[in-house]
Chains A and B, each alone.
Chain A
Amino acid sequence: MLKVFLVLMVVFAVMAVQTPKLRQAVVYLGIFSLISSFVYLLYSAPDVAIAEAVIGSTLATILYLVALKKYAVYTIYFTDTVDSGLEEAVAARRARILELVEGFCTERELEAHVIYTAEGKEQIQQNHSYDLIVMQEGEAVTVCGSRESYHVDGIRSHLLEKDKGAGNRLRFQVQTEEEEVGP
């Protein structure tokens, strides 16, 4: 019994090293941790087994998966200064602007990570690292890109081009500079 699981541990460790895809390697590592926790149990160390099961195969796996996601993630902060999220028109407009941004992300193979927050623009700029801030003020939408982001020019031309016919009151800023578009 014990030897079978020890051999399995070696097998999964080799698989984790040899697999070409990082995500699969993380899953193999989780299985490896689970088996090792069971081996601890067979060695009659249940305390260690619980710690290994919780930390090795749950928390570490989640953290690795999140890290892999962050590898190509595009952080968008969305703020709605006029809090009227229940009205359908506003919700539709919000969905539309986010759809534009997410279309851009799909084009560039980025992972869109939208964070809804109640903080103002200055607060976000000071406290968080961001790629894009989308501010909805009733009718008007202000988009603010970070200068540190590699995709700032790309998303600017993408948004301006897609938004031409839509008649949103869209403004695009790069930190301090800003320009007016639309009616």
Chain B
Amino acid sequence: MAEEYRSRIISIIIGVLYPFILLFGFYIILNGHLTPGGGFQGGAILSAVLMSRYLVSPNQDIRLDSLQIVEKMAYALIVAVPLLFLLMGVGGRLDKTVYLVLMNALIGIKVSCGLSIVFFRFVFYESR
């Protein structure tokens, strides 16, 4: 996107909306066990923050490697936490709500990292 094609209105409005989108994403993740929503939907909303950031400034200063590392760690934890709960019998002692919120948060992190990686690889690398 060339400089003059970038709309000033869009960049200002998205700058104002950033915190609200973030808040909404975290709300959907953390309230996933009570209200509609959950890790996947909230993660998708969080990745929309990074995509709108691309609309404002197409700079290539996002480190995809570290995003990928975070995503892999989240995946390992998603596999490990329920296994731990099942095998070690920790589940009985821990509150169910804590477990659900923890799993929703992990899934949210993984989904937002994954969708951001997909989007930025698509935008910056796959030109033809």
Interface residues of A (CB under 8 A from B): 46-47, 49-51, 54-55, 58-59, 62-63, 66-67, 70, 73, 75, 102, 112-117, 128-131
> Chain B residues with Cβ under 8 A from A112's Cβ?
2
Tell me, yes or no, whether B56 is within 8 Å of chain A by CB. Answer: no
Inter-chain contact A50/B28, CB cutoff 8 Å? yes
Interface residues of B (CB under 8 A from A): 1-3, 28, 36-38, 40-41, 44-45, 47-48, 51, 58-60, 115, 119, 122-128
Inter-chain contact A63/B119, CB cutoff 8 Å? yes
Known: A113-B58, A115-B60. A102 touches B2 (CB 8 A): yes
Query: Of the candidates A50, A59, A67, A75, which one forms a contact with B37 in the assembled complex, judged by CB atoms under 8 Å apart?
Result: A50
Instruction: State how many angstroms separate the Cβ of A131 from the closest Cβ of chain B.
Output: 8
Closest A residue to B28 by beta carbon equals A50
Inter-chain contact A62/B37, CB cutoff 8 Å? no
Q: How far is the CA of A50 from the CA of B29 in the complex (A)?
A: 12
> Chain A residues with Cβ under 8 A from B41's Cβ?
47, 50-51, 54
Inter-chain contact B127/A63, CB cutoff 8 Å? no
Q: How far is the CA of A143 from the CA of B127 in the complex (A)?
A: 20
> Chain A residues with Cβ under 8 A from B28's Cβ?
50
Q: How far is the CA of A58 from the CA of B95 in the complex (A)?
A: 35
Q: How far is the CA of A55 from the CA of B123 in the complex (A)?
A: 17
Instruction: State how many angstroms separate the Cβ of B52 from the closest Cβ of chain A.
Output: 9
Query: Of the candidates B3, B51, B125, B128, which one forms a contact with A62 in the assembled complex, judged by CB atoms under 8 Å apart?
Result: B51
> Chain B residues with Cβ under 8 A from A54's Cβ?
41, 44-45, 48
